[in-house]
Amino acid sequence: MSSAMPPVVIRTARLLIRSWQPGDGPLLKQAIDANLAHLRPWMPWALDEPSAPDVVEARVQQLADRFARGEDWIYALFAPDGRQVLGGSGLHPRIGPSGLEIGYWLDAAHTGRGLASEATAALTCAAFDLPQVDHVEIRCDPQNLASAAVPRRLGFRLAEVLVADTVTPTGEVRDTMVWRISRDEAAALGDGAPPAVSGRR
């Protein structure tokens, strides 16, 4: 990746999206521990939870360091006042030098409100603000209907389905849906795009 970096803080109508920072450990632990049943079918890391408070705080420090070094840009999704973690997301430079992958999870009590779409739209804008990025992808389990609905809603196209390319958190072989949008495709959405995609943050 080039030296260009996404912003540390992004605000949308209903979210404060910012990089994890030292001291966020208690809020992250609270959110994860409250959502284990919700996360474990889809997130392999959730099988190793709950973790001790000091372990979570050390993880937060590691995420902050990786963000600052441009290795992986992981964000917390906060309520606007910054007092509650509603989920997590990220811009992951793991699909080649000209692309970024977006991942996300939400607190179970805040699903069904369009917050994942709102965060993803904002991060898609942030990705295309980086001159080296010409496409953004979202990859998900075909069985995760809520996750797959996000890129579909935002104008991503289903580029391919990778057959039996990975396993579920519990080890069953599964496919992966690859949703993709290019810089040109995002620009072509114009006024028809969701506000956070077609406008600025």
CATH classification at residue 165: 3.40.630.30
For residue 135, tell me if it sits in a domain.
yes
Count of the separate structural domains present in the chain: 1
Give residue-wise pLDDT tens across range 78-118: 999 999 999 999 999 999 999 999 999 999 999 999 999 99
Is position 73 within any domain?
A: yes
Which tokens is 59 given?
């993880």
> Model-level pTM?
0.91
112: left (phi over 0), alpha (psi -120 to 50) or beta: left
Q: For residue 129, is it within any domain? A: yes
Helices (H), the chain: 25-33, 36-39, 53-69, 115-128, 145-153, 183-189, 195-198
Q: Which has the closest alpha carbon to 67: 3, 138, 5, 119?
A: 5
User: Which residue segment(s) compose the domain that 188 sits in?
Assistant: 9-198
Within-domain flag for 93: yes
Is 2 domain-assigned?
no
C-alpha–C-alpha distance, residues 107 and 85, integer Å: 8
84 found inside a domain:
yes
pLDDT single digits (tens) 132-144:
999 999 999 999 9
Decide: 168 and 39 in contact? Cβ < 8 Å: no
Confidence (pLDDT) at 192: 41
